[in-house]
Chain A
Amino acid sequence: MERRVHDRGGWPEAGPIDQAEHVYTMWERRTDAIRGVLGAKRLIRTDELRRTVESLDLTQYEQLSYYERWIVAIEVLLIEKGLLTREEIDRKMEEWVTCRNS
């Protein structure tokens, strides 16, 4: 059986789980809120978000934090569903960078 990247129960040499709590940063809270809004508006389902997070390759999955995986998955889904284009997202990102640097 092919073991999926997120399927960590009994993962070889996984080591103990880090159970330390941390204070959520503003961007993590925003990510959670964005997902909540997209869910309430029936634009993205929990199962779709999971499918997309679970499709990340091993390297990417392990490099990203929990909410970074959500951000990547939300972006993939918004493009997949035709709600935003890659160009629109990239353009908005550039605007923010320009604003912050001016």
Chain B
Amino acid sequence: MAAKFKPGDKVQVRVGSPPGHFRTPAYIQGKTGVIEVLHGAFPNPESLAHGGDGLPKQCLYLVRFDQTHLWQQYPTTIKDKLLIDIYEHWLESA
């Protein structure tokens, strides 16, 4: 399947809490980051969690965020990054 994003693209994480299992923690939702790597396409865990076949596969990206963007108390002098895997259907262009 064609990937919607490529490394370097700016993305915003969707906000939501669908019933069942999903892998997008609350602290990252609504935040803006940059695509680091496209891992490939994988069966959708939200479907697998309920006995589904996981299809269609979803592209999975490694996304980079500034820690200071995520945590209010984070010292602004530190340039730490957070790298986290996020499935494509949780991302939109920013």
Contacts and interface: CB of A to CB of B under 8 A. Distances in A.
Given A7-B25, A10-B27, A50-B21, A1 B16 contact: yes
Q: Is the interface of A mostly helix, strand, loop or mixed?
A: loop
With most chain B CB atoms within 10 A of its CB, the pick from A3, A47, A48, A51 is: A47
B55 interface: no
Q: Chain B interface secondary structure, helix, strand, loop or mixed? A: loop
A3 B26 contact: yes
Q: Interface size class for chain B? A: 10 to 19
Contact of A1 (B26, B48, B51): B26
Nearest to B43: A47
A28 interface: no
A51 B26 contact: no
Interface of B: 15-17, 20-21, 25-29, 45-46, 48-51, 71
Given A7-B25, A9-B25, A10-B71, A2 B17 contact: yes
A48 B51 contact: yes
Contacts of A48: 48-51
